[in-house]
């Protein structure tokens, strides 16, 4: 069964014929959530901007903007 078929068969409409909601199998819901999380689609605008800034810093060689793994390890083991 394709996603399109699932949506067509499980869409609920209001009295005017506009779609209100879609009921999907739980397995498909879990797949959707995993997809969203894997590709960062659940990030806030601020989180996306922070990632863009970090990538820019990394590309420009501004490594002083980052905390080393050793420093993080020291902090957690202290």
DSSP string for residues in 26-70: HHHHHHHHHHHHHTTTT--HHHHHHHHHHHHHHHTT-GGGS--HH
Structural domains of the chain, count: 2
Are residues 17 and 38 both part of a single domain?
A: yes
pLDDT value at residue 4: 72
Same domain, 38 and 51: no
Note the pLDDT of residue 46: 94
The residues of the chain scoring below 50 in pLDDT are: none
pLDDT at 6: 63
**Residue that is written with structure tokens 């996603």 in the block:** 3
d(CA 21, CA 23): 7
Same domain, 59 and 76: yes
How far is the C-alpha of 42 from the C-alpha of 33, rounded, in Å? 9
* Domain limits for position 73: 46-78
Q: Is the pTM of this model over 0.95?
A: no
Residues 6 or more apart whose CB falls under 8 angstroms from that of 24 comprise: 6, 7, 10, 32
């Amino acid at each position: 069964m394709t996603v399109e078929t699932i949506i067509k068969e499980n869409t609920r409409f209001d009295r005017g014929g506009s779609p209100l909601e879609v009921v999907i199998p739980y397995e498909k819901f879990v797949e959707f959530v995993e997809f969203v999380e894997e590709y960062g689609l659940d990030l806030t605008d601020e989180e996306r901007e922070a990632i863009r800034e970090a990538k820019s810093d990394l590309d420009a060689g501004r490594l002083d903007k980052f905390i080393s793994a050793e420093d993080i390890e020291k902090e957690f083991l202290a």
